[in-house]
């Protein structure tokens, strides 16, 4: 139905290993959460430089699938050599000195991943007025965050992260995970194609973006609220 943030991913290496490029990941163990934008971005960047990967030994890069909450600890504990992690966790690893950025994995046709706002087809089809109000609420909240960055920072740092995120880390993370309203059919289709190509999600019959991405309620809400 909409996008709510773009970017939000980094490939980060252990600070003591001095990893500079994706090619340097050959022979290394890389932690990542399974099935998300981080896994897809990581695999696409590995493929781009001709590296092979598997969650078992024997390929150029060994992937270790971990929960988001466990990846930073694995890097800090030197159980992995690098990670592809979301924000603000990747920023925190860098600011605390145990990680260094290798690359933001946006150098393929997918570009920056867009985190999506999704609702059920049943809600969209059968309760259109409720669905429209959801989108209007979403646009109003996002517009507030964009218009008043201090309000956004206070909410994210104090309510979402319970004051465990510093002001500097918040701003650095936000520079790599900007708030947005928008998502496009093209972006969803390219992402779906990459998921199928690299086996992320393992779909028997990948859905066609134009058949299930519905942006009409988003455009109506943006127009009503004067959001650009």
Bridge partners, residue 81, by sequence: none
Tell me if 102 sits within 8 A of 19, measured CB to CB.
Answer: yes
Q: Per-residue pLDDT averaged across 1-27, rounded?
A: 97
Tell whether omega for the bond before 28 is within 30 degrees of 0, i.e. cis.
Answer: no
Q: Using 50, 70 and 90 to split pLDDT, how confident is the model at 201?
A: confident
Which pLDDT score is estimated for 165? 93
Tell me if 151 sits within 8 A of 157, measured CB to CB.
Answer: no
- Reading the block at residue 22, the tokens are 């994706």
User: Under 8 Å CB-to-CB from 96, ≥6 apart: which residues?
Assistant: none
Where does the chain have alpha helices with state H?
37-48, 68-76, 89-95, 121-126, 128-147, 149-154, 167-174, 185-198, 209-212, 216-225
Question: What CATH number corresponds to the domain at position 57?
Answer: 3.40.190.10
Tell me if 188 sits within 8 A of 205, measured CB to CB.
Answer: no
Name the 3-class secondary structure at 39.
helix
Whether the per-residue pLDDT at 204 is higher than 90: the answer is no
Total structural domains within the chain: 1
Domain that holds residue 192: 1-228
Q: Is 207 left (phi over 0), alpha (psi -120 to 50) or beta?
A: beta
Which pLDDT score is estimated for 226? 95
């Amino acid at each position: 139905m909409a996008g709510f943030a773009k970017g939000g991913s980094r490939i980060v290496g252990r600070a003591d290993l001095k990893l500079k490029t994706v090619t340097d990941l050959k022979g290394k163990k890389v932690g990542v959460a399974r099935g998300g934008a981080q896994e897809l971005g990581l695999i696409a960047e590995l493929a781009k430089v001709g590296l092979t990967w598997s969650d078992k030994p024997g390929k150029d890069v060994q992937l270790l699938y971990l929960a988001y909450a466990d990846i930073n600890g694995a890097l800090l504990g030197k159980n992995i050599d690098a990670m592809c992690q979301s924000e603000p966790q990747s920023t925190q690893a860098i600011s605390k000195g145990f990680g260094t950025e290798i690359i933001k994995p946006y150098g393929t046709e997918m570009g920056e991943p867009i985190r999506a706002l999704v609702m059920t087809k049943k809600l969209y089809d059968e309760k259109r007025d409720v669905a429209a109000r959801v989108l209007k609420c979403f646009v109003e909240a996002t517009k507030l965050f964009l218009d008043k960055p201090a309000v956004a920072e206070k909410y994210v740092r104090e309510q979402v992260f319970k004051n465990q995120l510093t002001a500097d880390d918040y701003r650095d993370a936000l520079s790599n995970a900007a708030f947005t309203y928008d998502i496009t059919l093209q972006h969803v289709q390219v992402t779906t194609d990459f998921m199928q190509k690299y086996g992320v999600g393992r779909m028997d019959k990948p859905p066609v973006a134009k058949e299930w991405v519905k942006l009409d309620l988003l455009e109506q809400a943006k127009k009503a609220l004067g959001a650009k």
